[in-house]
Amino acid sequence: MTIYIYIRNNSRVSFGTITEIIIFFGFGVTALFSPLMHLNEILVIIAIYFFLLGMDFIKDFRMEIIPKKTKNKLKRKVRITLPVF
């Protein structure tokens, strides 16, 4: 959805955004098939997911506090939700 919003607004999609989307998608797919794993692996995956989600929130906070000097700034209103377990 984030890439779709960027493309629709004719904004530039950065390499960091694409990497972030791929990582979160990978964790979502892994969590989807988590009943096939042991409990310890599931807890490690959930912990890494929450850590990355927290880092994303810190990055968004930093970007709001120190805005870039661009005229067409796209404000991110889409949040990544926790996958259904």
Domain spans in the chain, listed from the N-terminal domain onward: 1-78
Question: Of 63, 48, 52, nearest to 20 (Cα)?
Answer: 52
pTM over 0.85: no
| AA letter at 36 | L
Asked whether 45 and 28 are in contact (CB, 8 A), the reply is no
The single residue listed with the structure tokens 């926790």 is 82
Position 27 scores a pLDDT of: 75
Per-residue pLDDT tens digits of the chain, which is 85 residues long: 777 777 788 877 778 778 888 887 887 777 777 666 677 777 787 788 889 888 888 888 888 888 666 555 555 566 667 777 6
Question: Of 85, 83, 80, 84, nearest to 21 (Cα)?
Answer: 80
